[in-house]
Chains A and B, each alone.
Chain A
Amino acid sequence: QSVLTQPPSVSGAPGQRVTISCTGSSSNIGAGYDAIWYQQFPGTAPKLLLFASTYRPSGVPDRFSGSKSGTSASLAITGLQAEDEADYYCQSYDSSLSGYVFGTGTKVTVL
């Protein structure tokens, strides 16, 4: 069972801005551990999208951005494009579990 909670789905029209929340607790995001975000297309491996809560690996478009506050983190996609339709997962480290934890996952649909 995931300890990071995400909305099951979000949707938006092309060009719009959508945000995905990732709610944790005082033993993970709230303890100061980074939120990491991944993008996954059906049948393929996840791809790193953001690390250290706000940094993008090279090659990731700047329409993807992240933030963190308290026990939560957020991923924002601005200027939504059809190719952004995928599943998105947050991840962090949990000190009470002494291991990594993933979010429940969010499916982004481009209308």
Chain B
Amino acid sequence: EVQLVESGGGLVKPGGSLRLSCAASGFTFSSYTMNWVRQAPGKGLEWVSSISSSSSYIYYADSMTGRFIISRDNAKNSLYLQMNSLRAEDTAVYYCAKESPGGDAFDFWGQGTMVTVSS
């Protein structure tokens, strides 16, 4: 059974940093592109970042470029998101999502971890 478990969320002041983790199991983690998607309270889904299976290709949404860093450790079956210079508008539930074998679709999601940016 595929499982994705996020951790690392919490309350952080504006300008602060936070590192999210996603522990994967139930599939060959090293074979799949992984993504982060966020959802602000009461709002829609927003794609954050994507990292290919071997970390060769990394992409970010424009509003995250330069502040967020995605990475993975295939030996530990783990995905990470380092978030710096956090703003109030980064407040959201952050989900890690596995990309489907054919690409483009996110076929499995974690339960999410809440990040609150507030003074």
Listed residue (B37, B105, B106) with the most chain A CB atoms within 10 angstroms of its CB: B105
Bound form: Cα–Cα A102–B90 in Å: 17
Residues 47 to 98 of chain A near chain B (Cβ within 8 Å): 47-48, 51-52, 57, 89, 91-93, 97-98
B107 touches A101 (CB 8 A): no
On chain A, the residues within 8 Å of B44 by CB distance are 2, 89, 102-105
User: How many Å from the CB of A65 to the closest CB on chain B?
Assistant: 16
* B62 CB–A CB distance under 8 Å: yes
Would you list which residues of chain A between 1 and 50 have a CB under 8 Å from chain B? Answer: 2, 33-34, 36, 38, 40, 44-48
Whether the pair A48, B45 counts as a contact (CB closer than 8 A) is no
Given known A-B contacts A36-B104, A51-B100, A51-B102, A45 and B112 have beta carbons under 8 A apart: yes
Known: A33-B104, A51-B107, A52-B102. A99 touches B112 (CB 8 A): no
Q: Are A51 and B109 in contact (CB under 8 A)?
A: no
Please state if A102 and B104 are interface contacts (CB–CB under 8 Å): no
If over half of A's interface residues share one DSSP class (helix, strand or loop), that class is named, otherwise mixed; here it is strand
Report B-chain residues with C-beta under 8 Å of the C-beta of A48.
100, 105-108
Smallest CB separation, A28 vs chain B (Å): 11
Inter-subunit contact B105/A46 (CB<8 Å)? no
B32 an interface residue at 8 Å Cβ cutoff?
A: no
The answer to the question of B50 belonging to the interface, with a C-beta cut-off of 8 Å to chain A, is: yes
Known: A45-B111, A47-B109. A99 touches B59 (CB 8 A): yes
Tell me the bound Cα distance from A100 to B60 in angstroms: 9
Bound complex: CA of A57 vs CA of B108, how far in Å? 11
Chain B residue with Cβ nearest A104 = B44
B35 at the interface (CB under 8 A from A): yes
A-facing residues in B83-102 (Cβ within 8 Å): 95, 100, 102
CB closest chain-A residue, reference B99: A100
Q: List 23 A-B contacts (CB under 8 A).
A: A36-B105, A36-B106, A44-B111, A45-B95, A45-B110, A46-B45, A48-B100, A48-B105, A51-B104, A51-B105, A51-B107, A52-B104, A57-B107, A89-B44, A98-B59, A99-B50, A99-B60, A100-B47, A100-B50, A102-B45, A103-B44, A104-B44, A105-B45
